């Protein structure tokens, strides 16, 4: 989803790379998939873990109780993996809290140093979802300790510019994208 940068030998600098945003249909599908994983599979498996707790409490045999606890731990680990997978597909915070909390949560989880330059006004729901996925997908590609500046402007035509400074690199890399939103 993210384009690369290229070196301009005439000017002696990196040229910005192109960011490709998901279209409206892709954003809706990703949201639906994340909801299905969270509300369906993860919730159902959480109920199984609770049921295993109740069974373990009712069993008098310590060896059987230990086996049930081991199975419960496996189920809990699978729930965590499902939730992690769902958040990679569509960050849950993005749907409710908005761009800034979603990107900050993702940056914190990935160990990134994030600065945001967001507009003071609210952008539309479609623009928020597509812009959120564009930046979230890009943040997933970065190594920890990378300094990232994300600048967002516009309403109908949303312009996104990402500046990245990775540790150990002498030059910054620039990426940009424009989204046409309803």
Integer Cα distance of 65 and 55 in angstroms: 8
Which pairing describes strands 113-117 and 147-153: parallel, antiparallel, or unpaired? parallel
- Is 33:25 a contact under the CB 8 Å cutoff? no
Domain extents for the chain?
28-89, 97-180
Q: Could you give the angle at the alpha carbon of 16 between the alpha carbons of 15 and 19, nearest 5°?
A: 150
CATH number among 3.40.50.720, 3.30.565.10, 3.40.50.150, 3.40.50.300, domain 97-180: 3.30.565.10
How do residues 91-126 score in pLDDT, each as one tens digit? 877 777 788 998 998 899 899 999 999 998 888 888
Helix, strand, coil fractions of the chain, as percent rounded to 5: 50, 20, 25
What is the pLDDT, as a whole number, of residue 146? 93
How do residues 75-99 score in pLDDT, each as one tens digit? 999 999 888 888 778 887 777 778 8
What is the pLDDT of the chain when averaged over all its residues? 84
Whether residue 141 has pLDDT greater than 50 = yes
Q: Give me the mean pLDDT over the 30-50 stretch.
A: 86
Provide the whole-model pTM. 0.70
How do residues 14-31 score in pLDDT, each as one tens digit? 555 677 778 888 888 888
Integer Cα distance of 91 and 106 in angstroms: 8
Please count the helices (runs of H) and the strands (runs of E) in the chain: 6, 7
């Amino acid at each position: 989803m993210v384009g690369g940068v290229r070196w301009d030998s005439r000017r002696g600098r990196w040229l910005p790379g192109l960011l490709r945003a998901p279209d409206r249909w892709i954003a809706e599908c990703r949201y639906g998939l994340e909801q299905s994983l969270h509300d369906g599979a993860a919730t159902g498996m959480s109920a199984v873990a609770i049921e295993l707790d109740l069974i373990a409490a009712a069993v008098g045999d310590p060896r059987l109780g230990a086996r049930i606890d081991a199975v419960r731990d496996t189920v809990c680990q699978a729930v965590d993996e499902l939730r992690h997978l769902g958040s990679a597909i569509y960050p849950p915070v993005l749907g409710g809290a908005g761009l800034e909390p979603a990107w900050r949560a993702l940056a914190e989880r990935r160990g990134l140093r994030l600065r945001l330059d967001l507009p003071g006004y609210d952008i539309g729901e479609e623009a928020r979802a597509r812009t959120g996925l564009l930046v979230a997908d890009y943040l997933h590609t970065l190594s920890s300790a990378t300094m990232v500046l994300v600048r967002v402007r516009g309403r109908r035509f949303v312009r996104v510019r990402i500046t990245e400074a990775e540790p150990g690199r002498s030059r910054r890399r620039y990426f940009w994208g424009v989204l046409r939103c309803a």
